[in-house]
Amino acid sequence: DLTAEQQHFDHLISEDSRVEPRDWMPEAYRKSLTRQVSQHAHSEIIGMQPEANWITRAPSLKRKAVLMAKVQDEAGHGLYLYSAAETLGTPRSVLNEQLLSGKAKYSSIFNYPARTWADMGAIGWLVDGAAICNQVPLCRASYGPYGRAMVRICKEESFHQRQGWEILYELSHGTEAQKQMAQDAVNRFYGPALQMFGPPDADSPNSQQSMQWNIKRFSNDELRQRFVDMIVPQAEALGLTLPDPDLKWNEERGHYDYGQLDWDEFMSVIQGSGPCNVQRMKRRREAHANGAWVREAAEAYAQRQAREAAE
């Protein structure tokens, strides 16, 4: 027999309404959402690193201001998402510990180096573009705090994608060397950006249940296809080539076919052996340690406030 609580939860899901922190929810739902939302938060925070490396090397004051704003947005996204994850019951300090100890995953894409200024363009256009494709449907995720956080995040991601596209457009219409630099960045980020959507559906252990719970609305492969269909005409408008000889329009399916992705590489990156995993985690641990005095000051202040309120 289903409990009244379970029935209420099932009803919320079946009528496609929202589950809020005060509602009873199955432990498996709470656990899987905590996993996804915290991994998402970690990705935003680690994702600041490849671009932050270029702030001091941006080619103009304007580019520098835009890039700084963008990197700060990512920090903000991490904070909204940690707040959303905390409403599920796990404190942020615990989530953070899971990241620092290497127990929690973060997006594979941020383990690739940003080698040139054109990478700022490719990251904005392809990485943030993939993020939007994946995240717009998450605005309708069944868990209220997650869905609401995603709305604001998606608006900011749209600006991020647009600024990346514009960097690439300028470069691809510049000198031959600049065009080459833009092409090289796209060559390196195309495959890893497609892998951001996660493993193929047949190898995605969480998808089916997440879709039944209205957390995910589309499968990994469906969103990947949507992304490929979106970027092909955009690449043409940029005058750049997507590095996939198998990419071609399939009249019957009404979609672009694309080539096999390197899933061995993906597995090795998410298991910690990508080109920058060690560097990213080292940097994050250092930043956390450097922030200790802020946490201590905030804690001392909170204690004083509590003492004064009690007096």
For the chain, helix, strand, coil in percent to 5 are: 70, 5, 25
| Total of chain residues touching ligand ACO, rule CB under 6 A | 24
Q: Which of 198, 231, 238, 242 binds ligand ACO (CB under 6 A)?
A: 198
Q: Minimal distance in Å, beta carbon 3 to ligand ACO?
A: 27
Nearest to 12 by CA among 24, 1, 2, 3: 24
Q: Does 47 bind ligand ACO (CB under 6 A)?
A: yes
Q: Which of 38, 43, 96, 277 binds ligand ACO (CB under 6 A)?
A: 43
Residue 8 near residue 23, CB atoms below 8 Å: yes
Judged by CB under 6 A, the chain residues 2 through 31 that form the site for ligand ACO are none
Q: Does 34 bind ligand ACO (CB under 6 A)?
A: no
Please, which residue, 147 or 198, has the CB nearer to ligand ACO? Answer: 198
Judged by CB under 6 A, the chain residues 220 through 239 that form the site for ligand ACO are 220
Q: Minimal distance in Å, beta carbon 102 to ligand ACO?
A: 12
Give the angle subtended at the CA of 288 by the CAs of 284 and 290, to the nearest 5°: 115
Q: Does 270 bind ligand ACO (CB under 6 A)?
A: yes
Quote the CA–CA distance of 259 and 164 in Å, as a whole number.
Answer: 25
Query: Tokens 């399916």, residue?
Result: 253
Q: Does 277 bind ligand ACO (CB under 6 A)?
A: no
Q: Which of 117, 143, 197, 256 binds ligand ACO (CB under 6 A)?
A: 197
Q: Which of 38, 96, 107, 163 binds ligand ACO (CB under 6 A)?
A: 107
Q: Does 44 bind ligand ACO (CB under 6 A)?
A: yes
For residue 229, what are the CA distances in angstroms to 16, 37, 247, 280?
28, 27, 10, 31
Binding segment toward ligand ACO, per CB under 6 A, in 6-14, 197-205, 227-235, 236-244: 197-205
Binding segment toward ligand ACO, per CB under 6 A, in 3-11, 103-111, 229-237, 284-292: 103-111
Alpha-helical segments (H) within 87-214 = 92-100, 118-122, 128-135, 144-172, 176-195, 207-212
Alpha-helical segments (H) within the chain = 4-14, 27-46, 48-52, 61-86, 92-100, 118-122, 128-135, 144-172, 176-195, 207-212, 220-238, 263-268, 277-290, 292-310
Q: Does 112 bind ligand ACO (CB under 6 A)?
A: no
Q: Does 131 bind ligand ACO (CB under 6 A)?
A: yes
Q: Is 13 left (phi over 0), alpha (psi -120 to 50) or beta?
A: alpha
Q: Does 105 bind ligand ACO (CB under 6 A)?
A: yes
Please, which residue, 128 or 244, has the CB nearer to ligand ACO? Answer: 128
Q: Which of 34, 142, 210, 277 binds ligand ACO (CB under 6 A)?
A: 210
Please, which residue, 187 or 204, has the CB nearer to ligand ACO? Answer: 204
Q: Does 96 bind ligand ACO (CB under 6 A)?
A: no
Q: Which two tokens stand for residue 251?
A: 């009249």
Residue 227 near residue 255, CB atoms below 8 Å: no
Which class for 290: exposed (0-12), middle (13-18), buried (19 or more C-beta within 10 A)? exposed
The site for ligand ACO (CB under 6 A) is made up of 35-36, 39-40, 43-44, 47, 105, 107-108, 131, 134, 195-199, 204-207, 210, 220, 270
